[in-house]
Structure 1
């Protein structure tokens, strides 16, 4: 299995996060990558540095305004004395009538959906590297590999075409899907992160060439709260090509694996040419964000089920936060996917 990881991610180590009215350390820390790389080491899977990603591909996923903001926003922000070390929004464009702002504070509120994805000095290069890893993994699959893995940091599935949020910046799963669409007529995205992939859903919601399926903790009590319900099935040409499977936060291995199996049934019905998996590992019972109760065995079972679908597959890393079990969660999933008998 080819694995891709950009070292530029290591300089992206966000600080700010607002949680329940208090300032907290951001959960999307650089240490996450080291824990995931340790999992690849346990499986003797070396990583390859990805090449550059074409700007025109990014513009198929995101607006030019968002890309410009991510690229230049921090430098604009630092011209404002006394600005903090990261771009964090303090106002949002909520009115039905609105005009795109010229000021960086206005742009921050336009393009940032919450305070958990602050933009720092090195965030643009890091998210470019993450998207490039997803792009190269998809290219490997197009060139004949049955599966490839992209260790993407920061993750991307909460980012829509024009808004970043939830620790995410460039939507790497959407980048992988668009790369595959360059050759394939139909692509499915299966998101098994504990959070609903609201950004990915939004990007493909009106399309019938990309099926989106998400298995996640119920938004009734969990982020992103406003989207991820089972009545959201697509719009226009995309009607019927969006499936959400929300689960109670008490759900463990059996219920979660049953939901993944249901998602795979819908994927099989769609008959895609290739599959993108938004591989969040934050459904684990010991993940600090406490969304679901999945164990290592659950991840191993899910890996085996997804592999058995028999589709050319790009695995795109999403969430999974600082826990001693993050490394083993990745090992468990990939061991299940590859059929390796490994001591967890």
Structure 2
């Protein structure tokens, strides 16, 4: 299996995040990608290649022009306001507040285009996010070109980013961008399976009214876990998309034995839908030692996950999402990919 990766993705290097009501050391850090890359090479998964530059059009097919313009100009605006550190929002246009007209001040813009206070923006964030999106697109192109599977070593991750907002360490929605690109270049149907511990709220929202991209997510119950406000079982799509979103929210403490029941059901949906391609949002934070997880996967369970996905027998694009137990992240990631290859 080929891996796609760009060192530009390492330039987004946050030092802190706001979590549990405190300013804490960041967990979405460059070493996450580096250890995965090192393990891929150590275990000889396959060739590692750099991404192509797909330009702005695939990003515009998913994200709003206003949001992309904000991301592009953020650092210039931030420093023009006399700021130099990484940026956190502190006010949001909730409920009775207005989101339009769009504010001129950078603090208002940060609130307008964010969903949480735990995702810092820095000087190199947007360049790294674009490189991550190009990584996802290149992996999709490999599979479209005939490869059975490919791995996009995406960092920063993407599945929490919506049409016009960032959050959950995500800035551009890599899975959505890859799925839309596959549709634009010939696929009649694409499925996205999100196996991250946290619900992929951004991906769901982007495709919620569409039937040409099926979204399936297995995750911690949002009544108990981030992102809290999306990912419930009764969310199944609207209008033309009715029935084409499926969520399996699971209780904290879920083990592989409990998880695989939901996974088997999700795979049955894939067999019925018969997508031309499958995009897997490969979160690895179901691991028992992950610092922000409440599930109890072992490293061997990730091998079983990959094996189960291989039975679906659909050309598959794997894209890295979460996973913050850095020391075990490479092993857990490659276990999934090798489990898929060996079936």
Other-structure match for 2:298: 295
Would you say the 8 A contact 1:254–1:298 is kept in 2?
Answer: no
Would you say the 8 A contact 1:218–1:248 is kept in 2?
Answer: yes
Other-structure match for 1:235: 238
Other-structure match for 2:169: 167
Q: Which of 271, 284, 287 lines up with 2:287 in the alignment?
A: 284
Q: By how many angstroms is 1:84 displaced? A: 4.5
Cα distance in 1 between the residues matched to 2:9 and 2:118: 17
Cα distance in 2 between the residues matched to 1:121 and 1:154: 14
Other-structure match for 1:16: 16
Cα distance in 1 between the residues matched to 2:114 and 2:179: 23
Cα distance in 2 between the residues matched to 1:36 and 1:258: 28
Q: Which of 213, 228, 233 lines up with 2:216 in the alignment?
A: 213
Other-structure match for 2:72: 71
Q: Which of 269, 275, 279 lines up with 2:278 in the alignment?
A: 275
1:1-344 to 2 correspondences below 5 Å: 1-44=1-44, 45-81=46-82, 83-96=83-96, 97-99=98-100, 100-182=102-184, 183-339=186-342
Cα distance in 2 between the residues matched to 1:338 and 1:271: 20
Q: By how many angstroms is 1:39 displaced? A: 2.2
List per-residue Cα deviations over 1:81-131 (Å, max 9, x = no partner): 2x2412211111114543122222111101111122211111111000000
In structure 1, runs of 5+ residues without a counterpart are: none
Instruction: Supply the RMSD in Å over aligned alpha carbons.
Output: 1.2
* DSSP-derived class of the 2:260 partner: helix
Q: By how many angstroms is 1:2 displaced? A: 1.4
Q: By how many angstroms is 1:298 displaced? A: 1.5
Cα distance in 2 between the residues matched to 1:37 and 1:151: 8
Cα distance in 2 between the residues matched to 1:42 and 1:150: 18
List per-residue Cα deviations over 1:265-302 (Å, max 9, x = no partner): 11111111110000000101111112211112211111
Structure 1-normalised TM-score? 0.96
Would you say the 8 A contact 2:152–2:319 is kept in 1?
Answer: yes
List per-residue Cα deviations over 1:109-166 (Å, max 9, x = no partner): 0111112221111111100000000001101111111101100000000001001000
Cα distance in 2 between the residues matched to 1:74 and 1:245: 38
* DSSP-derived class of the 2:143 partner: helix
Structure 2-normalised TM-score? 0.96
* DSSP-derived class of the 1:121 partner: coil
Change (3 A) 1:98 1:10: closer
Cα distance in 2 between the residues matched to 1:303 and 1:5: 20
Q: By how many angstroms is 1:325 displaced? A: 1.4
* DSSP-derived class of the 1:325 partner: helix
Cα distance in 1 between the residues matched to 2:37 and 2:320: 12
Q: By how many angstroms is 1:46 displaced? A: 3.1
Would you say the 8 A contact 2:282–2:318 is kept in 1?
Answer: yes
List per-residue Cα deviations over 1:191-223 (Å, max 9, x = no partner): 000000000000000111000000001111111
